[in-house]
Structure 1
Amino acid sequence: MTYEFDFSVLLPYWEQFLRGCWLTVLLSTIAILAGLSIGIVTALAKQSPIAWVRLAATTYVEAIRNTPFLVQVFFIYFGLPAIGISFQPWSAAVLALSLNCGAFSAEVIRGGIDAISRGQFEAGAALGLKRLQVYRYIVLKPALRIIFPALSGQFVLALLTTSIVSSISAEELTSIAQSIDTLTFRSFEIYVVTTVLYLVMALGFAHIFKAVDRAYFSYPVK
């Protein structure tokens, strides 16, 4: 059996591939920003002196970290309508990715907070700062400096995880590639191009995060 490779067949679809990349980057960016916010709040909640707040945060993190992402997507898109809560595919994808990214980020951030010396907390309290002010002004940036490489890896993983939301017909690169495949039947060429595009986006995100790390979290060299 012979197969003639012909990538020129895909040239008429280059705008659709670029649109898929844009939607993937947009989806990832929203999920990363929302996930980071959720992660910070959850990490602080796990440090709360209030028992039910700690329990709620721990339950959320454990539920997300110990279930498959595909099941989470299906639960939000197919399961929640049973109780009257419905989402469009893209909205469901954003919510699922944000919650997933938030849970994993929370554990990374919590680890960074735990790495900060207790003396820092005591110094903040001695200055008359409230608990949240201590976290905001004294703890958070040093903690983020420690964990930023791990968070960067988590965020690049979030970009690659967007491909799973094609299972609910949310538009991004993989779903658009599948649509082109049904028109051209050039699966090999399509998924080679798709793989290269994901690689370029992942490396691009990695370089952006390295630049952010150097700009905001690296100690100046004297």
Structure 2
Amino acid sequence: MNFQPLWRYQDQLIEGVLITLALTLVAAIVGLVIGVAGAVALRGNFRPARMLVRSYIELFRNTPSLIQIFLIFFVLPSFGLKLPAFESAAVALSLYFGAYSVEIVRAGLDSIPKSQIEAGQCLGLTGWQVFRHIVLPPAMRNVYPAFTSQFVLLLLGTSLASQVAAGELFHVASFIESRTYRSFEVYAAICVIYFALVMAFKALFAVIDATAFRWPRRQ
């Protein structure tokens, strides 16, 4: 084993890590917005919206995310919409993460007792105020562990973007391996980097959980 040849590519590795983090954060933020909006639509009374959201969930949860990336990167240009590799991967992963987020947020909203909502209405709060201050905070706390787990899967899933030449970490690893022919060393190093990223985010999530959701839990 000889890891020395990898040091000359440290700048590319750092850039790959940054692109991986950017791709993950963009997909997570957009996916979370989709999740909240979709969950609200599922709980609404407008049936076409519920059917549309349900169809979206089934489509993106039951097809490989790699195919979704390919469809956006290779097929959409046929319809006049051509996106670069990073943007294509970001859109596909956002929609994929959003499909899971809808179900996670919906479960969190369903976990809030109806009496708690009625108490807010009795105080004269508007529907938005009840949702913003009474429903959403405890709902997000209830589903926070599921979100963090899905975020980790999203982070690891960004490696699929290498198939459309997005310059994330795994794509950089493939480039280095093709130059050094040190397959074991390259992919062992990449594995360590992914593991370190996941552990860092888990530590961050633990801090957020201890600070943002520190009010007493109902027994």
CA distance in 2, matches of 1:69, 1:140: 29
Report how far residue 11 of structure 1 moved.
1.1
Counterpart for residue 68 of structure 1: 64
Counterpart for residue 195 of structure 2: 199
Aligned-partner residue type, residue 140 of structure 1 = L
Contact (CA 8 Å) 1:145, 1:218: kept in 2 or not? no
Structure 1 position 94 matched with structure 2 position 107 = no
Of 175, 178, 187, which residue of structure 1 is paired with 2:174?
Answer: 178
Note the alpha carbon deviations across 1:137-184, whole angstroms, 9 max, x for none: 110000011110110011111100000010011110000111111111
CA distance in 1, matches of 2:103, 2:128: 19
Counterpart for residue 34 of structure 1: 30
Q: Aligned to 2:166, what secondary structure does the other structure show?
A: coil
Counterpart for residue 40 of structure 2: 44
Question: Gapped runs of 5+ residues in structure 1?
Answer: none
Structure 1 position 58 matched with structure 2 position 54 = yes
Aligned-partner residue type, residue 194 of structure 1 = I
Give 1:141-152 correspondences, 5 Å limit: 141-152=137-148
Q: Aligned to 2:167, what secondary structure does the other structure show?
A: coil
Of 11, 19, 31, which residue of structure 1 is paired with 2:15?
Answer: 19
CA distance in 1, matches of 2:87, 2:213: 33
Note the alpha carbon deviations across 1:2-57, whole angstroms, 9 max, x for none: xxx11111111112111111111111111111111111111111111111111111
CA distance in 1, matches of 2:199, 2:73: 30
Report how far residue 129 of structure 1 moved.
3.1
Contact (CA 8 Å) 1:93, 1:165: kept in 2 or not? yes
CA distance in 1, matches of 2:121, 2:56: 30
Report how far residue 124 of structure 1 moved.
2.6
Of 117, 120, 123, which residue of structure 1 is paired with 2:119?
Answer: 123
Aligned-partner residue type, residue 115 of structure 1 = S
TM-score of the superposed pair, with normalisation by structure 2? 0.95
Question: Gapped runs of 5+ residues in structure 2?
Answer: none
Note the alpha carbon deviations across 1:77-118, whole angstroms, 9 max, x for none: 111112111110000011111111111111111101101101
The CA RMSD over aligned residues, in Å, is 1.4
CA distance in 2, matches of 1:177, 1:88: 20
CA distance in 1, matches of 2:129, 2:78: 42
The more displaced of 52-61 and 190-199 is 52-61
Contact (CA 8 Å) 1:46, 1:53: kept in 2 or not? yes
Report how far residue 121 of structure 1 moved.
2.0
Aligned-partner residue type, residue 11 of structure 1 = W
